[in-house]
Chains A and B, each alone.
Chain A
Amino acid sequence: MMVDSSMSDTAKVSPRAGPSYAGWIGKLANSPIYAATIGLIANSRMARLALLLVIPLVWIITLHIGPIYQMARISIMDNYPPAPGGAIYTLDNYRLFFQEPLYFMPFLRSIVFAVCVTATTLVVVYPVAYYVAKVVKPENRTRALLLLLTPFWAGELIRTFSVIMFLANRGAVNVFLREIGFIDRPIILLYNYFSLSFGVIYLISLFMLLPLYSAIEKIPNSLVDAAADLGAGPWQRFRRVILPLSRDGIISGCSLVYLTSIGVFAAPLLLGGPNSTIFPEIIASLFHGSSDKWPEGAAFSILMLAVSLSTVGLFMRVVGGRTVKLM
Chain B
Amino acid sequence: MRSYFSDFPKTALQASYWLFVIYLLLPLALMMAISFKDANFVAFPIDKWTLKWYAQVLQDKQFLEACAYSIFIALMTTLFATIVGVWIALLITTEGMIARSVIFALACLPAVVPGLINAISMRIFIRVLDIPTGTGAIILGHTVHAVPFVVIMVLTRLRSMPNNLVDAARDLGADSFVAFMRVTLPYLAPALAGGMVFCVLTSIDDFVRTFFLGGYQTTLPMLIFAKVQGGMSPEINAIATLVLIVTAAVGLYAEHLTRRSRT
Residues of A within 8 A of B (CB): 2-3, 6-7, 9-11, 13, 15, 18-19, 21, 25, 29, 38-39, 41-43, 48-49, 52-53, 55-57, 59-60, 63-68, 70-71, 74, 124-125, 127-128, 130-132, 134-135, 142, 144, 146-166, 168, 170-172, 175-176, 179, 202, 205, 221, 224-225, 227-228, 234, 237-238, 259-260, 262-266, 269-270, 280, 283-284, 287, 294, 297-298, 301, 304-305, 308-309, 326-327
B80 to chain A, nearest CB (A): 10
Pairs across A and B, CB under 8 Å, 29 listed: A2-B189, A6-B186, A10-B172, A10-B174, A19-B173, A48-B176, A63-B144, A71-B121, A127-B12, A130-B13, A153-B201, A153-B247, A153-B248, A154-B28, A154-B244, A155-B244, A157-B228, A158-B240, A158-B244, A161-B236, A162-B28, A172-B27, A202-B24, A221-B3, A225-B3, A259-B112, A287-B212, A305-B113, A308-B114
A56 and B103 CA atoms in complex are apart in Å by: 9
Complex contacts, A52 vs chain B, CB 8 Å: 87, 90-91, 94
Question: With A25-B182, A64-B109 as given contacts, are A166 and B27 in contact (CB-CB < 8 Å)?
Answer: yes
- Asked if B259 contacts A265 (CB within 8 A), the reply is no
A327 to B255, CA, bound (A): 24
- Asked if residues B44 and A172 are in contact (CB atoms below 8 Å), the reply is yes
> B residues engaging A (CB < 8 A)?
2-10, 12-14, 16-17, 20-21, 23-28, 30-31, 34, 42-45, 84, 87-88, 90-91, 94, 100-101, 103-110, 112-125, 128, 140, 144, 147, 155, 165, 168-169, 172-178, 181-183, 186-187, 189, 201, 204-205, 207-208, 211-212, 221, 224-225, 228-229, 232, 236-237, 240, 243-244, 247-248, 250-252, 255, 259
Q: Is the CB of B173 within 8 A of A60?
A: no
Which of A60, A68, A154 is close to B113, meaning CB atoms less than 8 Å apart?
A68
Nearest-neighbour CB distance to chain A for B2, whole angstroms, equals 7
With contact pairs A265-B116, A283-B120 given, residues A234 and B186 touching in the complex (Cβ less than 8 Å): no
Also in contact, A155 and B247, with CB within 8 A (given A148-B21, A280-B116, A287-B123): yes
Judge whether B4 and A202 touch: CB under 8 Å. Answer: no
Chain B neighbourhood of A9, CB < 8 A = 182
CB distance from A278 to the nearest CB of B (A): 10
Indicate which residue in B28, B45, B107, B183 contacts A159 across the interface (CB closer than 8 Å): B28
CB-CB under 8 A from B255, the residues of chain A are 146, 149
Whole-angstrom distance between the Cβ of B27 and the nearest chain A Cβ? 4
Contact A162 B30 (CB under 8 A): yes
Q: How far is the CB of A188 from chain B (nearest CB, A)?
A: 15
Residues of the A chain whose Cβ atoms lie less than 8 Å from the Cβ of B100: 327
- The interface residues of chain B lying within 8 Å CB-to-CB of A3 are 165, 183, 186-187
* Closest beta carbon of chain B to A94's beta carbon, Å: 16
B181 CB to nearest chain A CB (Å): 5
Chain B residues in 8 Å Cβ range of A150: 248, 251-252
Question: Within 8 Å CB of B23, what residues of A?
Answer: 202
Known: A155-B224, A158-B28, A228-B4. 14 other contacts (CB 8 A): A52-B87, A65-B109, A66-B125, A71-B117, A124-B16, A135-B13, A153-B251, A154-B240, A155-B205, A171-B43, A234-B7, A262-B114, A266-B221, A284-B211
Q: Which of A71, A152, A166, A224 contacts B30 (CB 8 A)?
A: A166
Q: Which residue on B lies nearest to A18, using beta carbons? A: B173
Question: Do most interface residues of chain A lie in helix, strand or loop, or is the interface mixed?
Answer: helix
Q: Establish whether residues B224 and A237, one from each chain, have CB atoms under 8 Å apart when the complex forms.
A: no
Q: Are B107 and A64 in contact (CB under 8 A)?
A: yes
Nearest A residue to B23 via CB reads A202
Verify B7–A228 contact, CB threshold 8 A.
yes
Cross-chain contact A125 with B20 (CB below 8 angstroms): yes
**A309 pairs with B112, CB closer than 8 A:** yes
Q: Are A42 and B88 in contact (CB under 8 A)?
A: no
Of the candidates B105, B120, B128, the one whose C-beta lies within 8 Å of that of A301 is B120
Residues of B within 8 A of A308 (CB): 114
Q: Which A residues are in CB contact (< 8 Å) with B113?
A: 68, 259, 263, 305, 309
CB distance from A241 to the nearest CB of B (A): 10
Measured CB to CB, the closest approach of chain A to B210, in angstroms, equals 10
B144 to chain A: which residues have CB within 8 Å?
63-64, 67
Pairwise interchain contact B84-A29, C-beta atoms closer than 8 A: no
Q: In the complex, what residues of A have CB within 8 A of residue B207's CB?
A: 156-157, 265-266
Contact present for B172 and A19 (CB under 8 Å) = yes
Contact indicator A42/B5 (Cβ below 8 Å): no
How far is the CB of B105 from the nearest CB of chain A, in Å? 6
Most buried by B among A2, A13, A294, A297: A2
Give bound CA distance, A224 to B7, whole Å. 11
CB distance from A77 to the nearest CB of B (A): 11
- CB-based nearest A residue for B221: A157
Out of B16, B114, B224, name the residue touching A260 (CB < 8 Å). Answer: B114
Q: A224-B5, A263-B115, A301-B117 are in contact. Are A56 and B87 (CB under 8 A)?
A: yes
Q: Which residues of A contact B155 (CB under 8 A)?
A: 327
Alpha-carbon gap, A44 to B232, bound state (A): 63
Assuming A3-B183, A56-B87, A165-B42, is B175 touching A124 (CB within 8 A)? no
